Structure 1
Amino acid sequence: MTDAPFAALHHGDAPLLLPNAWDNASALALARQGFEAVGTTSLGVAAAAGLPDGAAATRDLTLRLARQLGGRGLLLSVDAEDGFGQDPDAVAGLARELADAGAVGINLEDGLGPVSLHAAKIAAVKAAVPELFVNARTDTYWLGDGGHAETCRRLDAYRQAGADGVFVPGLSDPDRITDLVNTFDAPLNILYSSLGPTLPQLGDLGVRRVSLGSLLYRRALGAALETALDIRAGQTPRGAAPDYAEVQALSAQRG
């Protein structure tokens, strides 16, 4: 059975707002602010290590982060790109390792690869780790041309393979969002965009999960640059920052 507490967050009165962390400190800082569940961002994990995103280069780093965070009092969903490989059994093996580390969810993207292959990965994961919440992502809007029929075809295949939720990053059109909500009997996950509907508006459309993706990592990087440039210009840095002791305390939470 899929992890009940995490799955239940997809059926509350409001959408599950899932912030995405890239290291121990960012994840625990978010948990301290009351976020019951935290995801990881593959871009943040990769960029922080000087590696490319979406190139299956961060399998070990992702698993290491899951082991750091698992069992730390938060519900952890892991962005595992496409499973870091093309062998469904190997992807299932990774899912088992993530679950053993304490993760309760996994995000798997198709990258517009063959539908049958991604469906096979999902089926293998659900067979190996039925309690893991599988969020099946299609990149029809992220990498493709946003064809609605193709989006539905892919999501239907992934749902039939056992996916617990479906994810369509890049989609912001309210009518198409509503159509997907009405078409599929699985929680719809949308990637937040400042140009798209707000969180309350997405909830009104029936969206059950809103992910922040790499936004927090990119905002943190932007804030660091802004701070350095302000100081170089003789100005007082803008914005707030946790002090040294607060960050040290986050590290002390490990173990």
Structure 2
Amino acid sequence: MALHTRDGGLVMPNAWDGLSALMLADAGFEAIATSSAALAATLGRCDGRGEVTPGEHLEHARLLGRLTGLPVNGDFEDGYGNSAHDVAATVEAAVASGLAGIGIEDTSGNPHQPIRDFDEAVNRMRSAVDAAKGRIVVTGRTDNFLQGRPDPKDTIRRLTAFAEAGADVVFAPYPPDLDALVAIVTAVAPTPVNVLVSPSDKVLRVAELQKAGVKRISVGPLHYTHAMGALEQAVNALAAGDLASATTGTSFERINELLAHGKS
């Protein structure tokens, strides 16, 4: 939690496998996170549909932590369960697995009603905090903006309630603009706010987000999608017969160097 409360806060990028985690550690980042979307994609599954089990996600997070020795925050969707009791059990498992943090969303997995009712969402957050007992950083997240519910008042209401329930950090992915982000930061202060670098705000630099009061910056699945974009370009080049463009990238010497320095 100390990383969140110091001046400037922290940048906490998201890894999707052992090598990406080692690259982030080698670049000097002090903490990393999982990405539920990137993890699901690496397994050939879709995010947010219950296709990844909590056990699989925990094993993945343990790998990242074991290789890097860094604190790992788990992007654990809705807490992997329909009830508040299930959420508490997931938090307990995360603590037992040595995670430094866990994020719990107000999503439902129901495409017809993707965001849970306010009271249910707050109750689930309270259950997560009670289970954490201060042993793990709990991030309370509302996906209003992500799910096409551009209601800043309800977003702030939810994040404020999550903070009042004891969430250590709050988070609303994809705020529409900087004004909305500043309004969130102001409303929930002094609770730290995480921001996901998104297509709408990626023109902003880290220093600008920090000046706005953000205490944690993550990238979600965007490093993964960047890597997949480069792969798609290489695949298309190969299909067109261009071997040179299709075979550039990090050398295996560099990969082996990183893997040799892993802590497992």
What's the CA shift for 1:63?
1.1
Structure-2 separation of matches of 1:174 and 1:203: 12
Residues 47 and 32 of structure 1: is their aligned pair in 2 closer, same or farther, counting only changes over 3 Å? same
> Please, which of 36, 57, 60 is the counterpart of residue 62 of structure 1?
57
Residues 82 and 236 of structure 1: is their aligned pair in 2 closer, same or farther, counting only changes over 3 Å? same
1:118 aligns with 2:121: yes
Residues 98 and 80 of structure 1: is their aligned pair in 2 closer, same or farther, counting only changes over 3 Å? same
Residues 98 and 240 of structure 1: is their aligned pair in 2 closer, same or farther, counting only changes over 3 Å? farther
Structure-1 separation of matches of 2:172 and 2:89: 25
Once the two structures are superposed, the pairs formed by residues 163-242 of structure 1 within 5 Å of their partners are 163-185=167-189, 186-196=191-201, 197-233=204-240, 234=242, 236-237=244-245, 241-242=249-250
- Does the CA-based 8 Å contact 1:109-1:138 persist in structure 2? yes
Q: Which residue of 2 is the match for residue 81 of structure 1?
A: 77
- Does the CA-based 8 Å contact 1:76-1:104 persist in structure 2? yes
Q: What is the DSSP-based 3-state SS (H/G/I as helix, E as strand, rest coil) of the residue aligned with 1:10?
A: helix
TM-score (norm 1): 0.89
Structure-2 separation of matches of 1:96 and 1:26: 27
TM-score (norm 2): 0.87
1:45 aligns with 2:36: no
Structure-1 separation of matches of 2:25 and 2:118: 35
Structure-2 separation of matches of 1:17 and 1:240: 29
1:171-193, CA deviations, whole angstroms, 9 ceiling, x for partnerless residues? 04222221221111211111102
Q: What root-mean-square deviation, in Å, do the aligned CA atoms of Structure 1 and Structure 2 show?
A: 2.0
- Does the CA-based 8 Å contact 2:69-2:263 persist in structure 1? no
Structure-2 separation of matches of 1:102 and 1:222: 33
2:172 corresponds to which letter in structure 1?
V
Residues 128 and 195 of structure 1: is their aligned pair in 2 closer, same or farther, counting only changes over 3 Å? closer
Residues 172 and 211 of structure 1: is their aligned pair in 2 closer, same or farther, counting only changes over 3 Å? farther
What's the CA shift for 1:250?
4.5
- Does the CA-based 8 Å contact 1:38-1:74 persist in structure 2? yes
Q: Structure 2, unaligned stretches of length 5 or more? A: 108-114
Q: Structure 1, unaligned stretches of length 5 or more? A: 1-6
Structure-2 separation of matches of 1:123 and 1:60: 23
2:3 corresponds to which letter in structure 1?
L
Further displaced range: 20-29 or 159-168: 20-29
- Does the CA-based 8 Å contact 1:137-1:166 persist in structure 2? yes
What's the CA shift for 1:248?
3.8
1:109-148, CA deviations, whole angstroms, 9 ceiling, x for partnerless residues? 1122122222222222222222211111111211132111
1:190-239, CA deviations, whole angstroms, 9 ceiling, x for partnerless residues? 11024313322211111111110110111111111112222343263289
Residues 178 and 239 of structure 1: is their aligned pair in 2 closer, same or farther, counting only changes over 3 Å? farther
Further displaced range: 66-75 or 85-94: 66-75
Q: What is the DSSP-based 3-state SS (H/G/I as helix, E as strand, rest coil) of the residue aligned with 2:147?
A: coil
What's the CA shift for 1:241?
3.0
- Does the CA-based 8 Å contact 2:174-2:200 persist in structure 1? no
